[in-house]
Amino acid sequence: MRTAFYISDGTAITSEVFGHALLTLFPAQFEHITLPFIENSDTAAQAVERINTCYKTTGLRPLVFHTFVDEALRLQISRSEGICYDFLNAFVEPLQQELGMAPVPKAHRTHSMHEKTYDFRIDAVNYALANDDGANLKNFSQADIILVGVSRSGKTPTSLYLALQYGIKAANYPFVEEDMEELNLPAGLKAHKAKLFGLTITPERLSQIREQRRPNSRYASVKQCALELNEVERLYQRERIPFLNSTHLSIEEISAKIISSTGLKRQKY
């Protein structure tokens, strides 16, 4: 199995994202190793040793995706036995020519607490945690979006992802079994109807998820899941609430589709 290293003098998040995006194009298995904060010649030497050892052990040259601001460290890593892919420098020169200005390299600039939007994200995470599962309807006026849906349809992880990644204040509200006999929008939701966004899922997938929480229960049965989903989807259609089927989507994809559909502003850069 080929090994992929993601290396940086910062968090290595950028090299991970770029590297993973490229490798997913190829139908192969990879071992992934991330080495963040390679900030001096000693840690760079240790990284080179790991890369070279991997090559000696497997006989396959490791793939090394890196984003170094420090030129000396970049050169040190490039002398390893790995096949190196330098994301930053591949684009710096053409971008410099287009913008008509020289870059000002600074480590930790991409992912640091000095971002203008850092406080937005921290506040949004705190908000999502405090307003999970309809805990504080009185705070819904502060929400950027309110996710609704049956239990275990993906509301909580999506709310937290929107908060952490984009600084979006996402509350969520569950429709539970007791609501199903006469399912209507509670007054607390009607007052903020424009902020509502629904999640749905197939009964089979919902049953699988619920089985992990309450095995062999009525709550997890396909029949009960189908009943709740039918009622909720009818509510979405009746109240004209936009909604999304999350069955085959990751949290990242769900979040991106919600932002695209609603036009919510990303507090990321």
Q: Could you read off the pLDDT of 2-20 as tens digits, one per residue?
A: 999 999 998 888 899 999 9
Do 92 and 55 fall into the same domain?
yes
What does the block give as tokens for 251? 């949290």
- In DSSP terms, which residues pair with 244 in a beta bridge? 199
Do 137 and 205 fall into the same domain?
yes
Domain assignment present for residue 220? The answer is yes
Domain assignment present for residue 171? The answer is yes
- In DSSP terms, which residues pair with 199 in a beta bridge? 244
pLDDT of residue 82: 97
Do 24 and 133 fall into the same domain?
no
Do 137 and 193 fall into the same domain?
yes
Residue type, 159: S
Domain assignment present for residue 84? The answer is yes
> What average pLDDT does the segment 46-73 reach?
95
Place of tokens 């903020």: 192
Kindly tell me if the per-residue pLDDT of 174 is higher than 60. yes
User: What CA–CA distance (Å, rounded) separates 233 from 194?
Assistant: 17
**pLDDT-derived band at 39, boundaries 50, 70, 90:** very high
Do 254 and 145 fall into the same domain?
yes
Domain assignment present for residue 105? The answer is no
Domain assignment present for residue 13? The answer is yes
**pLDDT-derived band at 108, boundaries 50, 70, 90:** low
Question: Among 21-30, 86-95, 165-174, where is mean pLDDT lowest?
Answer: 86-95
Per-residue pLDDT tens over the stretch 132-171: 998 788 889 999 999 999 999 999 999 999 999 899 999 9
Domain assignment present for residue 267? The answer is no
User: What CA–CA distance (Å, rounded) separates 153 from 176?
Assistant: 11
| Residue 27: partners with Cβ closer than 8 Å, 6 or more residues away | none
Do 144 and 210 fall into the same domain?
yes
Do 52 and 161 fall into the same domain?
no
| CA nearest neighbour of 152 among 218, 105, 207 | 207
Kindly tell me if the per-residue pLDDT of 129 is higher than 70. yes
Can you give the pTM of this predicted structure? 0.75
Number of domains making up the chain: 2
Q: Is 44 exposed, middle or buried (0-12, 13-18, 19+ CB in 10 A)?
A: buried
> What average pLDDT does the segment 217-241 reach?
97
Kindly tell me if the per-residue pLDDT of 111 is higher than 60. no
Instruction: Convert 146-188 into a string of H (helix), E (strand) and C (coil).
Output: EEEEECCCCHHHHHHHHHHHHCCCEEEEEECHHHHHHCCCCHH
pLDDT of residue 268: 67
Domain assignment present for residue 138? The answer is yes
Q: In what order do the strands lie in the sheet with 145-150?
A: 170-175, 145-150, 196-200, 243-245
User: What CA–CA distance (Å, rounded) separates 148 from 196?
Assistant: 7
Kindly tell me if the per-residue pLDDT of 201 is higher than 80. yes
Domain assignment present for residue 108? The answer is no
Residue 192: give the domain boundaries: 118-262
- In DSSP terms, which residues pair with 200 in a beta bridge? 245
Q: What is the CATH number of the domain that holds 149?
A: 3.40.50.300
pLDDT of residue 265: 87
E-only strand ranges, 74-157: 83-86, 145-150
Domain boundary among 99, 134, 157: 99
Do 126 and 252 fall into the same domain?
yes
Do 13 and 93 fall into the same domain?
yes
CB atoms within 10 A of CB 62: 23
pLDDT of residue 125: 93
Do 215 and 151 fall into the same domain?
yes
Do 215 and 134 fall into the same domain?
yes
pLDDT of residue 13: 87
